[in-house]
Amino acid sequence: MANLINEAEIRDTWSPIIESATGITDASKLAWMSEYCHNHKLYEDANIMALSPGMNIGGMGAVSFPSGFGASPATKGSGDKAPTLLPLAMQVAAQTIGLDLVPVVPMAGPMGLLSYLDFVYEGGRLAGSTVAPTYIKSAYAALETDQAGVADFGILFDLIGTSRIDGKTIYKITGTLTGGKSVQEAANAAQASGAAQTVELVKALEDHIAGFVGNADESPYDRATGESTPEKLMGLSLFSKSVEAKTYQVAAAVTREQVQDLKQFGVDAVAQVEAVLVNELTQTINDLIINKIGTLGDSNITKAVAAGEIPAGALTVKLVAASAFTGGQTEGSEHRKVLTGILSAANLIANRGRRGAGNFAIVGPQVATVLQSVAGFVPNPFANTISQSAGAIYPVGSVAGIQVYTNPKWKWSNNNVYVGRKGDGNGPGLVFMPYLMAESVQTIAEGTMAPKIAVKSRFALVEAGFHPETQYVSFTVTKLDGTAFDNIVSLA
């Protein structure tokens, strides 16, 4: 469903309500929550509501599409709409700190498209030729073994170099033979031959082709050459990824006696059940986001090692045990290495992704203790006043521009560190796309007449871009021999 008013009006309408209800003041979070609340309110107002809890009340039945347009009578489509509760959705959105780690792009329906931009190398025409040279890359082995100027599948090409991201070989198409094929036809022929490799364009923000804007040796043109040489072209490409909203759901029930008896203590049993359900959804979404960040961080390190960008184990922080101290080594000097490891991971993200350095880190309770003990590390609250539910990831402070979050669900002995960069949703990385943050259904059981509450959350967590893993890095704090520490606080 499309938004019916402009974004500025949406923010003006919903931001004061969200700020009053949740305490959120961060501008970026208010922006996407305002858009989500607008969409959510449209859903609540636009459709009829129907239930089928335990088959006690007639439900909507099978999904059906409208038919018989212009006929009499026409068949109406089914109303696929369950009751929703906007205040509950706002609670889930506000308390899910995992959403502070990734950009949020609300979905206007259960299916959507996530679009992102990239710049690709393409070029002007060859002198006296109708062929436009295109820079491509491929892992196809036959191309890699050919030499410059040799035809493969009807294409003449020059070998340019190797991609720093995925190790594929970059080629410049210099022409085609008589009856030669297009680049796409060559790709199809390569796949048909059993190569099972695609040919793709070279992304400018991931790989740099030397000499693209001047001479092949990277020197600039002289005036005469500049006047007679056509400019090579950079292409702006818009890519879209189809997205489907997936579901988390949970329910809880209370007895009539609980509802009645807890009132004498001033406790609303139904409200308490709702709070528990919100907490369950919040922690589950947090875990999903954090686990995906860790997986992509591991993938980034693996690919960086395979490409020869970093040696194996380069980012692992190895500390000296207290029993092996020599000279002026202290616990503080060893703990300081953890901070250096986080800064190294943040800079590796800038180097691999080329869109900026990492700006957040996720640590366990023991590593958080170590960071807090390092001289110069000052815990500071972030620019929000989010009310945390028990057990959720929580902010500790910032150091060197990196926001540090502690995940209390990790074991005390979990010394992993995840570092990432939160982008704007237009580049590579994870993007959270909520459709319905919380859909609440309350029913009364026919047999016991006791209330039952079910909450459902529908969203998509999308890996956007061609190399989303470049925005995350993961590493571990270990002993010098690579084994796990029992206690890194005391280095025992």
Q: What is the mean pLDDT of residues 198-213?
A: 80
Q: Do residue 378 and residue 481 come from a single domain?
A: yes
Q: Of the residues 199, 232, 265, which one is the last residue of a structural domain?
A: 232
Q: Of the residues 232, 259, 275, which one is the last residue of a structural domain?
A: 232
The gap between the terminal CA atoms of the chain, to the nearest Å, is: 58
Q: How confident is the model at residue 491 (pLDDT cuts 50, 70, 90)?
A: confident
- Please tell me the pTM assigned to this model: 0.73
Quickly list DSSP for 14-31. HHHHHHHHH----HHHHH
With respect to residue 55, please indicate whether it lies within any of the assigned structural domains: no
Q: Tens digits of per-residue pLDDT, 316-326? A: 999 998 888 88
With respect to residue 398, please indicate whether it lies within any of the assigned structural domains: yes
- pLDDT value at residue 2: 43
Name the range with the highest mean pLDDT among 200-209, 291-300, 326-335: 291-300
Q: Alpha-carbon dihedral of residues 321, 327, 328, 334, nearest 10 degrees? A: -20
Q: Tens digits of per-residue pLDDT, 339-350? A: 889 999 999 999
Q: Do residue 203 and residue 342 come from a single domain?
A: no
Q: Do residue 278 and residue 422 come from a single domain?
A: yes
Instruction: List residues bridging with 453 in a β-sheet.
Output: 252, 442
- pLDDT value at residue 198: 65
- pLDDT value at residue 153: 60
Radius of gyration of the chain (CA): 28
Asked if the model's pLDDT at residue 383 lies above 90, the reply is no
Q: Do residue 175 and residue 289 come from a single domain?
A: no
With respect to residue 212, please indicate whether it lies within any of the assigned structural domains: yes
Sign, CA dihedral 197-201-207-210, equals positive
Q: Do residue 103 and residue 129 come from a single domain?
A: no
Q: Do residue 289 and residue 425 come from a single domain?
A: yes
Q: Which residues, including other chains, have CB under 8 Å from residue 265's CB and lie 6 or more apart?
A: none
- pLDDT value at residue 472: 96
CB-based contacts of 141-146 (< 8 A; 24+ apart in sequence): 141/195, 141/197, 142/190, 142/193, 142/195, 143/169, 143/171, 143/190, 144/169
Task: Kindly provide the b/e burial profile for residues 208-247, where b requires at least 16 CB atoms within 10 angstroms of the residue's own CB.
Answer: ebeebeeeeeeeeeeeeeeeeeeebeeeeeeeeeebebee
Q: How confident is the model at residue 195 (pLDDT cuts 50, 70, 90)?
A: low
Q: Tens digits of per-residue pLDDT, 71-108? A: 444 444 444 444 444 555 666 666 666 778 888 888 88
Q: What is the mean pLDDT of residues 370-398?
A: 56
Please choose, from the candidates 44, 36, 38, the residue with its C-alpha nearest in 3D space to the C-alpha of residue 105: 36
The CATH number for 292's domain is 3.90.1690
Q: How confident is the model at residue 297 (pLDDT cuts 50, 70, 90)?
A: very high
With respect to residue 61, please indicate whether it lies within any of the assigned structural domains: no
Q: Do residue 339 and residue 386 come from a single domain?
A: yes
What span, in angstroms and rounded, lies between the C-alpha atoms of 274 and 68? 43
Q: How confident is the model at residue 187 (pLDDT cuts 50, 70, 90)?
A: low
Residue 428: cis peptide before it, omega within 30 degrees of 0? no
Q: How confident is the model at residue 55 (pLDDT cuts 50, 70, 90)?
A: very low
Looking at 122-233, which runs of residues are DSSP E strands?
135-138, 155-162, 169-176, 200-201
With respect to residue 57, please indicate whether it lies within any of the assigned structural domains: no
Average pLDDT, the chain: 75
Q: Do residue 127 and residue 171 come from a single domain?
A: yes
Residue 303: domain span: 1-46+83-114+243-492
Q: Do residue 419 and residue 473 come from a single domain?
A: yes
Percentage, residues of the chain above pLDDT 90? 15
Asked if the model's pLDDT at residue 28 lies above 70, the reply is yes
Q: Do residue 377 and residue 411 come from a single domain?
A: yes
With respect to residue 132, please indicate whether it lies within any of the assigned structural domains: yes
With respect to residue 257, please indicate whether it lies within any of the assigned structural domains: yes
Q: Do residue 249 and residue 335 come from a single domain?
A: yes
Task: Please tell me which residue, 194 or 293, carries the higher pLDDT value.
Answer: 293
Task: Please tell me which residue, 329 or 446, carries the higher pLDDT value.
Answer: 329
Sign, CA dihedral 68-69-73-79, equals positive
Q: Of the residues 212, 232, 252, which one is the last residue of a structural domain?
A: 232
Q: Do residue 155 and residue 107 come from a single domain?
A: no
With respect to residue 397, please indicate whether it lies within any of the assigned structural domains: yes
Q: Roughly what angle, to the nearest 10 degrees, separates helices 27-46 and 7-22?
A: 100
Asked if the model's pLDDT at residue 418 lies above 90, the reply is yes
Task: Please tell me which residue, 149 or 94, carries the higher pLDDT value.
Answer: 94
Q: How confident is the model at residue 391 (pLDDT cuts 50, 70, 90)?
A: very low
Q: How many domains does the chain have?
A: 2
Asked if the model's pLDDT at residue 417 lies above 60, the reply is yes
Q: What is the mean pLDDT of residues 267-290?
A: 85
Task: Judge whether 400 and 347 are in contact, CB under 8 Å.
Answer: no
Q: What is the mean pLDDT of residues 372-394?
A: 50
